[in-house]
Structure 1
Amino acid sequence: MTITPYDPHPGMTNGRFSVFTLTVEWLTLPDVADRLGIPITRVRQMVRDRKLLAVRSDGVLRVPTEFIQDGTVLKGLSGLLTVLSDAGFSDEESLDWLFREDPTLPGTPVRALAENRGREVKRRAQALAF
């Protein structure tokens, strides 16, 4: 599922935050399990343990496709999610930050993670806590 609307107030829908205003491909948990080659129960545990981030849409938990790369979870994602949580970010705010363009990277933090620039991304996330 691809969501691509333009929003002059990114992340806000009727005054409420929504990650579904981001341009992101989404996977359901069974799709994630298939791509990782693991049981869905393990995927659910990964979400509970914050190894993966999932948001609910229409009653279904969804994970951004970009979080799965070459049959594994994106390197550095788990630690980055911990840093963002420690900085006070909600799951939705973390997703918003991960998929918003950052001219200092350049690109998005999730793209930088995929390009093995995790240290750079983690430093930026740590700076958010101060």
Structure 2
Amino acid sequence: MEQRVDPGGLAAADLAALVPAWLDWAGVAERLGVTPAKVRTMVRDHELAAAVPVSGAGPQVPEAFLGDDGAPVKGLAGLLTLLHDAGFDDRECIAWIFTDDDYPGRPIDALRENRGSEVKRRAQALAL
């Protein structure tokens, strides 16, 4: 059986410290103008990612994943697909997207500033 590598200890990352604001699925649904069931589908289809940021909380989505236009941030779905293809789960995806490692700034900031292609290149390199 192939052993999965956790680059940078993302599985143990403190998401509550990395991500400044979270929304529950009802909050995401309201912002996107959809139902909570649709949010669940969007998470399942990797259009969004959700995790439990603190013990006892339900699954939540980082608020930064939502753009000002009432839609997920441009390029997020493609990035999540790349990270999942590299073996990341949603929790690890969120940690990677919000970690300022050797990248100039956090990947979420680059996505929000429409610099997604450079972030996707870095994500593709993780799969190698």
Fold conserved (TM > 0.5)?
A: yes
CA contact (8 A) 1:11 1:21 kept: no
Write the mapping of 1:26-105 to structure 2, written as runs, cut at 5 A.
Answer: 26-56=22-52, 57=54, 58-70=56-68, 71-104=70-103
Give, in whole Å, the separation in 2 of the partners of 1:11 and 1:125. 14
Give, in whole Å, the separation in 2 of the partners of 1:11 and 1:81. 15
Give, in whole Å, the separation in 1 of the partners of 2:31 and 2:89. 26
Structure 1 stretches of 4+ moved >6 Å: none
Question: What's the RMSD between the two structures over aligned residues?
Answer: 2.0
Which structure 1 segments of 5+ residues have no match? 1-9
Which structure 2 segments of 5+ residues have no match? 1-8
Distance 1:60-1:72 versus aligned 2 partners, 3 A rule? same
Task: Find the partner of 1:24 among 6, 20, 23.
Answer: 20
- Alignment: residue pair count: 118
Letter in 2 for 1:109: P
Give percent identity, aligned residues only.
Answer: 49
- The question of 1:111 aligning with 2:114 is answered no
Choose between structure 1 and 2: higher helix proportion. Answer: 2
CA contact (8 A) 2:19 2:62 kept: no
TM-score norm. by structure 1 comes to 0.81
DSSP 3-state at the match of 2:59: strand
Deviates more, 1:22-31 or 1:120-129: 22-31
Give, in whole Å, the separation in 1 of the partners of 2:19 and 2:39. 23
Give, in whole Å, the separation in 1 of the partners of 2:109 and 2:49. 16
Give, in whole Å, the separation in 1 of the partners of 2:63 and 2:39. 14
CA contact (8 A) 1:112 1:121 kept: yes
